Amino acid sequence: MTPKTRRRVPRGMPLFPDRPRLSQEEIEKRNAADEEFARRCREIFWRVYPELVKEHYDWFIHIEPDSGDYFIDPDQEVSLQKARERHPNARILAKRLNETGCVGRI
């Protein structure tokens, strides 16, 4: 068995200095794209929420905003699998059909 080598990294230094760092403009661009994606998904969620929550309370919903498709199931993995079968390379947002829409712990 080979011994582990530990590399001490001073506080405030990057863990991988050979990787290029993103510029502030690129970071802001990515954050804006993420916020736009989330906004489009939230619009679909709040549009279908009133009908679905009555019969499917606390189920998982996965939303693909480009097509407007959503997939629901009581099991999170099954719902994600349904979404991946239909949209294998798309970004998909997971939510829950309850008061907060949150998945997992807050």
Categorise residue 101: left if φ over 0, alpha if ψ from -120 to 50, beta otherwise: left
The pTM of this model reads: 0.77
Q: What is the mean pLDDT of residues 5-19?
A: 80
Q: What is the mean pLDDT of the chain?
A: 89
Q: What is the mean pLDDT of residues 56-77?
A: 94
Residue 101 resides in a domain: no
Question: Which ranges of the chain would DSSP assign to H, the alpha helix?
Answer: 24-55, 76-86
> Residue 3: its pLDDT value, please?
79
Q: Quote the longest CA-to-CA distance of the chain.
A: 59
How many structural domains does the chain have?
1
What domain range includes position 48?
A: 25-96
Residue 36 resides in a domain: yes
Residue 13 resides in a domain: no
DSSP three-state, residue 100: coil
Residue 16 resides in a domain: no
